[in-house]
Amino acid sequence: MEQLMEYSLLATFFLYLIAGVTFVAAMTGKGTEEEKEAHVVRWGRRGLIFAMIGAVLHVVFTVTRIFLSGHFPTSNMFEFTAFLCFAIVAAFIVIFSIYRTVALGAFVMPLAVIMLAYASVFPREVKPLIPALQSHWLGIHVTTAALGEGALAVGFVAGLIYLIRWADSHPNSRTAAYLEVVMAVILMVVAFVVLSFTFSGLDYHASFKHTVDEQEVVQEYSMPPIVGPSGGEAIQVQPFLGMERPLFDAPAWMEGEKAANKLNTVLWSVFSGLVLYGLLRLILRKRIYESMVPMVKNMDMELMDEISYRAIAIGYPVFTLGALIFAMIWAHEAWGRFWGWDPKEVWALITWLFYSAYLHLRLSRGWHGLKSSWMAVGGFVIIMLNLIAINLVLAGLHSYA
Amino acid sequence: MKNTKCGCGHNNPVGTILCEYCGKPLQEEENTDRPLEMRYEGKARRSQTQKRTVLDRVWNFFSSVKVAIYLIVITLLASILGTVFPQEGQIPSGRPDVYYAQEYGFWGDLYYQLGLSDMYSSWWYISLLAMIGISLVICSLDRVVPLYQALRRQKVTKNTAFITRQRASRTLQVSEEEKDPLLDRLAESLSKKRYNIRREGDSILAEKGRFSRWGPYINHIGLIIFLLGTLMRLIPGWHLDEAVYVREGETKKLPELNYYVKNEKAIAELYDEKENRQQASKDQPIVKKYETQVVLYEKDPETDQLERVESGPILVNEPLKYKDLLLYQADFQPNQTEAIRLSVKDKETDEKLGSFWIDLYDPEMNYEVKDGVEVQIMDYFPDFVMDGNRPTTKSEVPNRPAFIFKVTSPEEEKAEKSWMIAGTDLDDLHRDNRYKMELEKLKTVNMSGLMVRIDKSLPIIFLGLGIFMVGLSIGLFWYHRRVWIRWKEGTLYLGAHTNKNWFGLRRELEQATAAADLPFSFSPEKR
């Protein structure tokens, strides 16, 4: 049973990867217009089949995990992020069945791969539920919210494709510059995933002790220390490329329990992301988004704008239902108040307000195309902030990971 | 005053964009073929026609979607501020004025001084939400009335400029003889696509899904009900948010209510090793459940008797419900010392004289030990702390009980005074005393923290949210599609509009026209 779970997750990962590669291959066919069109259709169908098999295996993984643990697997960062990945793929399959846009797959599936890899960075073991999570709302509230976010993520990808197309014809615009920044940030997330796996593969460890509120605490590092805890003392540091001690100490106000460790991880991700970006620029000899232009050149921009809007129009009610209304019902049952201004609640509200502004701007103020696409990107950035930053940095009732 | 009389002879109110009667564009230069602005059917809204009194000004301010969006964005940005540091309700301290400065330094103190540490209940944040509420009402009213009128009084025959300037439109030369059978076929194929067909001479209006236009207004009504529901919590007696700590065996009055709760038993259960397969390697046990078995009593106002009204277990996620009252498991404090047993020893004879229990929550003052030896409590500090040179207590909970005893004996002329502070060795202090007091036993019980809640506005709040979801689904999952067809002087004009999903509309039009033997392509590039 446990092995079935592990293998189905692994197979899911590789199928999403293969689906992504297939979709990219579909968009980069050669030959005459007609040959290209036939190529897109043929390889697009194959990509969809891979994505669907992947999604089925993802369901197998989820179901076996339910059998193993006795609860719906949305109780920690690994489980939630993996489910969010599934939601993105599911939303893509729905949108694809309406619009048959192969190019969308060439971007959504790599996003799903990054998401699943990011999920796997977190502890994967099955843990029993703490009392606060023992409720059928765990499955209902979290999955509905994730499914909504999945559709919003597809809206983001369609917006991104629109922006790539737009920047292609306006290479000196601010949009082109900011689009490149978005690419660099995505690479930082990729770098984080790669680093986490590399250092856990190398079995890297370092630990420091320092005092917080007059109590001595030990911080475990899983990446070589660029920055150490303020006033910390090394207990044990494995040398890495000659690095035996932190290059500098964290500022004194960052005295949270794991603050220095988190700062260290962020620094590693940012630097390696930038290095990765530099390397890619050197290899490609053009901007990152420019290298994606051939994949989207034949996309109709108006259609992309509509897909982005449609995906958000589907995702917004589902997100509202899951992340706000079901959340309120559960909060009422568990905590005796339906709303408590917990950071995670506030960020769900912020996400909702942002997409409300998006809809009003689009429907009442006529924000289509470029502005609308940027807003789709901005919304996804907020969702990711919510997932990464709020869970890990701001502690609240929801930080179960 | 601007002339708003249309070429067709209809008089339109100021602010009208498209003629109410024939749909001809009124406010733009002629000879463009940009797609028309179809919002609110081009009708003039109240905010555009009335601009005189103060009420009109207020109305116009709140009726602007631009203002509404600004309000949303300001609320969004303000909400972010409130998550920088934890809010006062979430800090583990009852002294926010000290806590923020201590924990987060200068910025924390500033955060507190600016009132951001409790900003979600601040006057300005509440007014932002209230203004969004007002904006919801006025924006909706300002638009739904003209939209309703325009859609109800739609004319079938539209100005040809109105048709050709739709985002999806085609024209075709069709002779007089061909036109009637063609219009029949188009009407039939559109009817098969579930359009409502209206015909008038050489014109067709096909329409479906109009109800989806009411979606936004329905969801706004839902939001307004929700906001009113949250306001109703201010009605006295509608909202209660209190907490009680009850020890096992204790019966306590619920704050502000005529109810009493008795804690029969409070338990915490841990996962065993089999259930928690990862447990073997780690030493931190995981809690499986917290449970308090309670009995709820209501006090009869006449007889002052407690009457049992409800009983049962309270678990996390499973509150006890009685009428409007809800009791939640919120905190669990195991092994709270409830009473201590002290023994008294005569140091001269090295004989134990006896022992007695002291109830830490409600201690008696005098204890008779043996042979006339008596212990008297002179002072008691349940939660002992030194305030400068003065002993005092932090709370009424016996976290660190301290006593000053007076021991009187027929054999001693003077009474002896002795101190006892939990966890502190004071033997040196009492070296000259004859009678020695020693801690013999502790009696511990579990204590449950229960939340006491009443929220009578909940049904209204969830009703509002339900209506909101219905409106949202109607507005976003369905769409309003209209097709105008008109034959005029040898030309067939066909134009279509939808409020969303142009892709679907175009595909539908291609299928419908193909079925009428008129294969049009509606793909945008081939416009």
Whether the pLDDT of residue B78 is over 50: the answer is: yes
* Residue A135 forms part of a structural domain: yes
Q: Which chain A residue has the Cα nearest residue B464? A: A325
For residue B290, which residues of chain A lie inside 8 Å, CB to CB? 131
Whether the pLDDT of residue A198 is over 50: the answer is: yes
Q: Which chain A residue has the Cα nearest residue B325? A: A336
* Residue A276 forms part of a structural domain: no
Q: Which residues contact B448 (CB under 8 A, 6 or more apart)?
A: B245, B246, B263, B266, B290, B292, B314, B329, B331, B332, B333
In the chain, the amino acid numbered A66 is I
Do B128 and B68 sit in the same domain of this protein? yes
User: Span A272-294, mean pLDDT?
Assistant: 89
* Residue B527 forms part of a structural domain: no
Indicate which of A339, A345, A356 best probes the interface with B, i.e. most B CBs within 10 Å of its own CB.
A356
Q: Rounded distance, CA B258 to CA B247, Å?
A: 19
User: Span A319-326, mean pLDDT?
Assistant: 95
Question: For residue A69, what are the CA distances in angstroms to A302, B59, B101, B216, B276?
Answer: 46, 57, 43, 42, 9
Whether the pLDDT of residue A21 is over 90: the answer is: yes
Angle between helices A343-364 and A369-385 (to 10 degrees): 170
Do B407 and B501 sit in the same domain of this protein? no
Mean pLDDT, chain B, integer: 85
A355: exposed, middle or buried (C-beta count within 10 Å: 0-12, 13-18, 19+)? buried
Q: What is the pLDDT of residue A251?
A: 72
Q: What is the pLDDT of residue A223?
A: 82
Whether the pLDDT of residue A255 is over 70: the answer is: no
Do B102 and B169 sit in the same domain of this protein? no
Tell me A320's DSSP state: I
* Residue A284 forms part of a structural domain: no
Q: Rounded distance, CA B35 to CA A360, Å?
A: 20
H or E element that contains B120 = none
Name the range with the highest mean pLDDT among A199-208, A298-307, B39-48, B205-214: B205-214
User: Span B419-424, mean pLDDT?
Assistant: 81
* Residue B511 forms part of a structural domain: yes
Asked if B112 and B96 count as a contact pair (C-beta separation under 8 A), the reply is yes
For residue A253, which residues of chain B lie inside 8 Å, CB to CB? 104-105, 107
Do B145 and B169 sit in the same domain of this protein? no
Lowest mean pLDDT of A239-248, B136-145, B276-285, B433-442, name the range: B276-285
Tell me B18's DSSP state: B
Lowest mean pLDDT of A46-55, A327-336, B389-398, name the range: B389-398
Tell me the β-bridge partners of A217. A210
* Residue A344 forms part of a structural domain: yes
Q: Rounded distance, CA A184 to CA B441, Å?
A: 66
> Edge-to-edge strand order for the sheet containing B481-488?
B168-173, B491-498, B481-488, B203-208, B196-200
Joined together, the tokens standing for residue A336 give: 């005796």
In the chain, the amino acid numbered B243 is A
* Residue A86 forms part of a structural domain: yes
- Taking the CA atoms of A108, A110, A114 and A116 in sequence, report the sign of the dihedral they define: positive
Question: For residue B401, what are the CA distances in angstroms to B151, B340, B358, B385?
Answer: 77, 10, 11, 10
The enclosing domain of B489 has a CATH number of 3.30.310
User: Span B471-495, mean pLDDT?
Assistant: 91
- Shortest CB distance from B461 goes to which of A98, A303, A338? A338
Q: Rounded distance, CA B504 to CA B499, Å?
A: 11
- Give the model's confidence band at B14: pLDDT under 50 very low, under 70 low, under 90 confident, else very high: confident
Residue showing tokens 């978005």: A182
Question: For residue A295, what are the CA distances in angstroms to A43, A168, A352, B287, B524?
Answer: 13, 12, 32, 52, 21
Parent domain of B24: 1-31
Total of domains in chain A: 1
For residue A350, which residues of chain B lie inside 8 Å, CB to CB? 76, 79-80
Size of interface A-B (CB pairs under 8 A): 148
* Residue A359 forms part of a structural domain: yes
pTM here is 0.87
- Interface confidence, given as ipTM, is 0.87
* Residue B24 forms part of a structural domain: yes
Do B493 and B464 sit in the same domain of this protein? no
Asked if B358 and B369 count as a contact pair (C-beta separation under 8 A), the reply is no
- Give the model's confidence band at A356: pLDDT under 50 very low, under 70 low, under 90 confident, else very high: very high
Higher pLDDT among residues B21 and A332, named by residue: A332
C-beta neighbour count of A198 within 10 angstroms:
12
Do B104 and B71 sit in the same domain of this protein? yes
Question: For residue A162, what are the CA distances in angstroms to A74, A351, A368, B55, B520?
Answer: 33, 22, 11, 44, 27
Q: Which residues contact B298 (CB under 8 A, 6 or more apart)?
A: B258, B259, B260, B306, B307, B309
Q: Rounded distance, CA B366 to CA B374, Å?
A: 7
C-beta neighbour count of B455 within 10 angstroms:
20
Whether the pLDDT of residue A394 is over 60: the answer is: no
**Model pLDDT for residues A75-105, shown as the tens digit of each residue:** 888 999 999 999 999 999 999 998 888 889 9
Total of domains in chain B: 6
Do B124 and B77 sit in the same domain of this protein? yes
Asked if A322 and A165 count as a contact pair (C-beta separation under 8 A), the reply is no
- Give the model's confidence band at A396: pLDDT under 50 very low, under 70 low, under 90 confident, else very high: very low
Parent domain of A167: 2-173+307-393
